[in-house]
Amino acid sequence: MEERTLLTLMVFSSLIVLAETIALKHGIEIYKLHVDSRVTSRFAHTLITSKIVNRANESREVTFEVELPKTAFITNFSMSIDGKAYPGIIKEKASAQKEYDTAVAQGQGAGLVRITGRKLEQFHISISIAAASKVTFELTYEELLKRQLGKFELLIKLQPKQLVTHFQIDVHIFEPQGICCLETDSTFMTNELTKALTKVQSETKAHILFKPTADQQRINPELNENLLNGDFVVRYDVKRGATAGDMQIVNGYFVHYFAPHEMPALPKNVIFVIDRSGSMAGRKIEQTRDALLKILRDLRLKDRFSFITFNSKVVEWKSSLLQATSENVASAAGFVQTISASGGTDINRALLAAVSLLDKSEGLPEKSVSMIILLTDGQPTSGESNVEVIQENIQKAVDGKYALFCLGLGFDVSYKFLEKMALSNGGLARRIYENADADLQLQGFYQEVATPILMKIEMHYPENAVEGLTKNNFKLFFEGSEIIVSGKISNELDILPVEIKAQSHAGGLTLREETNVKEKERVFQNQSYIFENFTERLWAYLTIQQLLEKSISAQEEDQKTLEAKALELSLRYSFVTPLTSMVVTKPGDQQQMELANKPTEADNEKSSSFAAGDAYRQRVGSAPGKCFSFDFIQNHFHIALLKRLLSHYSSWLISQLRGKSAIKLSMLISSISVGRVRSKTRAQLLANEYPQLLLQLPKQNDIICLRIDGQAQPSVHLLSDPEQGLTVRGKLGERTNHFVQLEINYANPPVQIHVSTNGVVLGHSNRSVQLPWTKSATSTVQGLSVSVEKERSFTASLSGMVTVRISLIKIPDAFLGLDFLHPDRFSDKVSGALGQFYSKAQFENNSNMNQRADERLLRVSGAEHKVARQYKKDYRLESTSDPVSCWSIDLTP
């Protein structure tokens, strides 16, 4: 038996990075890992196959872990141990839970699916297999890719944690409308890995194959660690004609896709209702302010807007909506800067105030969209605090006239409450994760709803010939999204007519089209690699999603009917939904155990969902006082590293624990013997300091981190690009060996920018403007927009040009980081100590020199530099973020 010690620890997330990457399983080899995705008209069917062998001479625990998109339903699972199959069976949830709760609670190897991040949830199973045994895991899930900001995205998360001999991701896409703008993206791609990626595309089909060899996966020849750790993303859009959308039919089930484009936006009347209660203090309110400032800039002249901020008191910025003229936007920006946080949370009064502001606003354009965007990070604590009463009040007040969007910031909100309120008022809810990029998430959400182009959309099909129609009335259509309606053609219909009615900026809009059913069915006939009956499964998927969504805002008795229908379909089409679970008969004792369920976003708040089971579990990057628990399986840990980790933190860890756990931990630490020490490389890899500069090289699709030894020089010429009219020089601090001053010169408009750790000075036609770090501010000089994010960063950007970003870092000593956004915009003439990397850098592919995989030769302007793969802290992110993997280089200009 392996000795296990379960510890629940309060630790920093940087520790987790270490712990995860060293979870080596001795004797357990994953020799095959295939991800096979087939996407037919946005409906994606993904099969993950993993073959594992126990090469140890005793039985060992093997683990199969998959992170899948939250929007997907698991449809099948099976494991086969030495040829004997153990299929997963989908059952109604209630009964499954009664029977199998105990098995799970006792930690017998299956972790139920749980949410692990913004987009993903994790499926997990651990089983013990005998020496020399082989096991094959197969997991299938299906999802309808949702068009957001003009793109469909297929996300595949990888983390094999060891080298895999037969590894591949195989994606086939078939879009009868035609594929456009296909791209792949990943968080781990290196030059070497790019060679393992092939993309073949025709008018309607695409095939993407990523098949790195074990050597290409290797991060380092000594550690056998796998580089593949992160997201692999395929994005595309489809081509569209200016018609009433596209119809697809297979075996009597039709799917109708409608996404009009190139239509003018409808003006919108938007009220931002912003929580400024005490819990928003600090980072959250700062990020909210930043996001609002950026959102303000994106308002269109025809839009009208106002702000309501609330704690226990509700403050209206203006008593009516203002048009988004530049004066009004500037005045609003001034107001936004003053929002500060304290007090309670009166959501009820704030929303009622927003509704009444819209109600009494006069002169709103007739063809315009009115919406309320609520941002809150907590529960209603002051004024009306009964959530049901609030929901009722708001629904009565809104009365179908406006759309309400609810954004919940962090995990202290009641997502269920926000979701129900949004869905019953024609909008939707979204959780904003409380991370370094919360402002970007807010902005991103706003962008999704920023451009309404149609209202009151009705999609009509012949009533007597179509049954099981999914939702066909939509309040709003936003640019970049897509409306999907599906149903079953009940009769022998030759022609399926469609009529779409909607309100556009120009008034009423009617689109009609007729589809020849037989002709459409022929499109899919000989597509051998497309999975069968996809329109029927898509119909079932969409129907279940919509029934579940409807049941959230329905009355209790309706809820039961809706859920019963959703359950029936989940079982018929074998989808693991919130109403079903998957069970499997365990090898060994032949007992059944619950294997998979479907958590909802609201379940994300219950800490219990990750406290049970015997998997190592963690919850990263959320609520304050981050709580992680993990399983220390002594055999499975790299002893030397564990010792290193514990010797650094042991006294602190022990001080955080009480009683038995502390004793256990001390025993564990003293029982660890130092053998097989191999921590040197790891120590090098994890050099935990900030680099001076981080450069994202667009051509190489890689990052280099630079140290420049320019102590002796008064100022180092970092970059000039004559075509961008941009020059950057920098000065190193006396003792810090980091930059403390940077000079940016623009030729057109002629602007000089002096950035130091004290602040920013803008020089323009003999005038100068001071921007201190203590305040967020934005300003525009002849098209050059500059902005200071308080105590954090400075950016300068000109339309179509590279954006210069300078980060202020205060640890250990104050210094400035520098990087460039859109570096692909640099011209070939870019030069300077940094500039040369954007034009002339080339990695040597010299395989005959016995080179280590974590070292390369980088040739720049005739000079050769030996660069090493290292992990560095990314100064652009929170100090607790994961380090970035980059090629590290020292330069003497």
Summarize as ranges the residues that interact with ligand NAG (CB under 6 A): 56-57, 76, 78, 138, 251, 522, 525-526, 532-533, 574
Residue closer to ligand NAG by CB (options 519, 844) is 519
For helices 438-449 and 283-298, give the axis angle rounded to 10 degrees: 30
3-state secondary structure of 168: strand
What letter represents residue 627's amino acid?
C
Give per-residue burial for 334-371: e unless 16+ CB within 10 Å, then b.
ebbeebebebbbbbbbbbbbbbebbeebeebeeebbbb
Residue closer to ligand NAG by CB (options 526, 848) is 526
Q: Would you say 208 and 156 are in contact if contact means Cβ atoms under 8 Å apart?
A: no
Q: Would you say 42 and 25 are in contact if contact means Cβ atoms under 8 Å apart?
A: no
Torsion angles phi and psi, residue 146, rounded to 5: -100, 135
Q: How far is the CB of 78 from ligand NAG (least distance, A)?
A: 4
Q: How far is the CB of 525 from ligand NAG (least distance, A)?
A: 5
Residue closer to ligand NAG by CB (options 204, 382) is 204
CA 376 to chain centre: 20
Q: How far is the CB of 376 from ligand NAG (least distance, A)?
A: 43
Residue closer to ligand NAG by CB (options 54, 724) is 54
> Is 134 exposed, middle or buried, given 0-12, 13-18 or 19+ CB atoms closer than 10 A?
middle
Residue closer to ligand NAG by CB (options 165, 251) is 251
Per the omega criterion (within 30 degrees of 0), is the bond before 749 cis?
yes
Residue closer to ligand NAG by CB (options 574, 787) is 574
Q: How far is the CB of 49 from ligand NAG (least distance, A)?
A: 8
Residue closer to ligand NAG by CB (options 532, 844) is 532
Q: How far is the CB of 55 from ligand NAG (least distance, A)?
A: 8
Using CA atoms, how far apart are residues 193 and 197, in angstroms rounded to an integer? Answer: 7
Q: How far is the CB of 89 from ligand NAG (least distance, A)?
A: 10
* Residue 683 CB partners (closer than 8 Å, separation 6+): none
Give per-residue burial for 201-215: e unless 16+ CB within 10 Å, then b.
eeebbbebebebeee
Q: Would you say 661 and 7 are in contact if contact means Cβ atoms under 8 Å apart?
A: yes
CA 601 to chain centre: 14
Residue closer to ligand NAG by CB (options 123, 838) is 123
Q: How far is the CB of 34 from ligand NAG (least distance, A)?
A: 12
Residue closer to ligand NAG by CB (options 138, 882) is 138
Q: How far is the CB of 343 from ligand NAG (least distance, A)?
A: 55
Count of other CB atoms within 10 angstroms of residue 320: 14
Using CA atoms, how far apart are residues 628 and 650, in angstroms rounded to an integer? Answer: 16
Per the omega criterion (within 30 degrees of 0), is the bond before 812 cis?
yes
Using CA atoms, how far apart are residues 127 and 553, in angstroms rounded to an integer? Answer: 40
Type and span of the H or E element at 209: strand 205-210
Residue closer to ligand NAG by CB (options 417, 534) is 534
Q: Would you say 831 and 839 are in contact if contact means Cβ atoms under 8 Å apart?
A: yes
| Pair of tokens at residue 819 | 């990087």
Q: Would you say 494 and 267 are in contact if contact means Cβ atoms under 8 Å apart?
A: no
> Which of these, 733, 717, 703, lies nearest to 893 by C-alpha position?
717
Residue closer to ligand NAG by CB (options 37, 391) is 37
Q: How far is the CB of 634 from ligand NAG (least distance, A)?
A: 15
Residue closer to ligand NAG by CB (options 229, 574) is 574
Tell me 442's DSSP state: H
Using CA atoms, how far apart are residues 539 and 532, in angstroms rounded to an integer? Answer: 13
Q: How far is the CB of 527 from ligand NAG (least distance, A)?
A: 9
Q: How far is the CB of 25 from ligand NAG (least distance, A)?
A: 13
CA distances from 820 to 90, 186, 757, 797, 838 (A): 50, 20, 19, 10, 11
Torsion angles phi and psi, residue 72, rounded to 5: -90, 155
Residue closer to ligand NAG by CB (options 595, 646) is 595
Q: How far is the CB of 526 from ligand NAG (least distance, A)?
A: 4
Residue closer to ligand NAG by CB (options 253, 411) is 253
Instruction: For tokens 């406006």, name the residue.
Output: 402
Q: How far is the CB of 36 from ligand NAG (least distance, A)?
A: 11
Cα torsion for 164, 168, 169, 170, to the nearest 10°? Answer: -160
> Which of these, 183, 212, 185, 207, lies nearest to 34 by C-alpha position?
212
Type and span of the H or E element at 24: none
Q: How far is the CB of 77 from ligand NAG (least distance, A)?
A: 7
Q: How far is the CB of 137 from ligand NAG (least distance, A)?
A: 10
| Pair of tokens at residue 437 | 């990029």
863-872 and 855-860 as β-strands: parallel, antiparallel, unpaired?
antiparallel
Residue closer to ligand NAG by CB (options 138, 603) is 138
